[in-house]
Amino acid sequence: MAGGAWIAGLLIGCAGEPGRMPSAWDPDEGDSSGVLDGGEGAPQGESSGAPGTSGGAATGASHGDDDGSSGEAMPMPDVPPADDCPRLQVQVAAGAELNVRPDASTAGEPVGALPNGAIADKLSQADGEVIEGDATWFEIQWNDVHGWISGAYATCTVEQPPQLQPPDGFYIPLECGYQTTIAQGNDGTYSHQGAAFYAFDFSVPIETPLVAMADGIVIHTYAETMPGDPCYDGGGPECFAYGNLVVLLHGDGTTTLYKHLNVVLATDGEFVPRGQAVGLSGSTGFSTGPHAHIMRMEDCGMAQCQSIPLEFVEAGVPVTGQSVTSENCP
């Protein structure tokens, strides 16, 4: 399964090698305020005493023993302070990534990157290079990625990383209340045959938001076809590989494909809840005009695999020419 490798710069924007989001960007502004030697940060959440005490001293009246004799004040047990910042959540623009550095500065080459919304374990923190007015850096662990991220793009959280569950159904990949028609259904007369037998084409104008049909994790993206490219406004079979796309992995082990995008709004490794936009529709790749090409697929490890039957919660299995209305309401 492709999870997405992350590339240079503090933030990643557009364009990159196939299946990857494009090259990253580092803010030029920001003075270096120094990196603590060895990346050691100040401990967080220190407490001056046990809960319910003042200044760390136990308080309260003495208690008698069972035999009626007078007892001394009971000592309070040592209770470790609660960590109000056990994890960090990445907050960057849609379609961007936050690079992970070997120390608290942008000087070293990235050791990985985190997608927007990722929740990583916080190991320590320190002052380092100032980024957008913030000198705080956090040492984090996310899956197998270990290093430092700028506090300018991360906030403390007590939330746990989301876990994929089998979806309770798949919803139309359009915003809540959006109504349109099916331009081509399953077993279509033009292109829905073979691997694409169970595909649906939704008739939508350019740059209509396409949203996740169920909770998923992004496992493939392609965002290289840009205005002016030969396959940007559609083309024949020679343009098949150049349609911008997003693929989500779902909790039941299946995937969904969103293709012919003008704009990709998701990043490899990102968790996308149902109803959140993954891209804006277009006509990139093998396409005769603006539409959204949607499939549910087997997970074969590639961006485009064998399609499998897809039934929408609000519309069943619509046919060519049928009007449908999205109830994909988060």
Q: What is the pLDDT of residue 236?
A: 94
pLDDT for res 38: 32
Residue 43, pLDDT > 60, answer no
Residue/partner pairs of 48-57 with CB below 8 Å, 24 or more apart? 50/76, 50/77, 50/78, 50/79, 51/79, 52/76
Q: Name the CA radius of gyration of the chain, rounded.
A: 26
316: how many CB neighbours lie within 10 A of its CB? 10
Q: Is the pLDDT of residue 47 over 80?
A: no
11-34+83-157 and 179-325: identical CATH topology: no
Of 44-48, 193-197, 206-210, minimum mean pLDDT range: 44-48
Q: Are 100 and 143 in contact (CB under 8 A)?
A: no
For residue range 146-161, what is the model confidence (pLDDT) as tens digits? 999 999 999 999 999 9
- Cα separation, 286 vs 191, in Å, equals 10
**Residues 290 and 204: beta-carbon distance below 8 Å:** yes
Rounded Cα distance between 98 and 265, Å, is 15
d(CA 314, CA 289): 26
Average pLDDT, the chain: 82
pLDDT of amino acid 81: 61
Question: How is the beta sheet containing 11-12 ordered, strand by strand?
Answer: 24-25, 11-12, 97-100, 112-115
Between 279 and 29, name the one with better pLDDT: 279
pLDDT in tens, 71-109: 566 665 565 566 789 999 999 998 899 999 999 999 999
Fold annotation for 179-325: Glucose Permease (Domain IIA) (2.70.70)
Select 11-34+83-157's CATH number: 3.40.50.720, 3.30.230.10, 3.40.1110.10, 2.30.30.40.
2.30.30.40
> For residue 109, what are the CA distances in angstroms to 95, 102, 103, 105, 118?
21, 7, 10, 10, 21
Is the pLDDT reported for residue 279 higher than 70?
A: yes
Q: What is the pLDDT of residue 94?
A: 84
- Select from 13, 7, 160 the least CA-distant residue to 88: 160
Return d(Cα 322, Cα 183) in angstroms, integer. Answer: 8
CB 305 within 8 A of CB 314: no
* pTM for this prediction: 0.73
CB 241 within 8 A of CB 175: no
Q: What pLDDT digit, counting tens, does each position of 214-261 carry?
A: 999 999 999 999 999 999 999 999 999 999 999 999 999 999 999 999
- What average pLDDT does range 57-64 have in this prediction? 38
The pLDDT confidence band at residue 190, using thresholds 50, 70 and 90, is confident
Question: pLDDT (tens digit, 9 = 90+) per residue, 11-42?
Answer: 333 333 334 333 333 333 333 333 322 333 33
List the chain domain ranges.
Answer: 11-34+83-157, 179-325
**Residue tagged 């490794």 (tokens):** 269
Average the pLDDT over 187-209 and give the result: 95
Quote the CA–CA distance of 216 and 190 in Å, as a whole number: 30
Rounded CA separation 210/276 (Å) = 8
The yes-or-no verdict on residue 130 having pLDDT over 70 is: yes
Report the amino acid identity of residue 312: F
pLDDT of 325 strictly over 70: yes
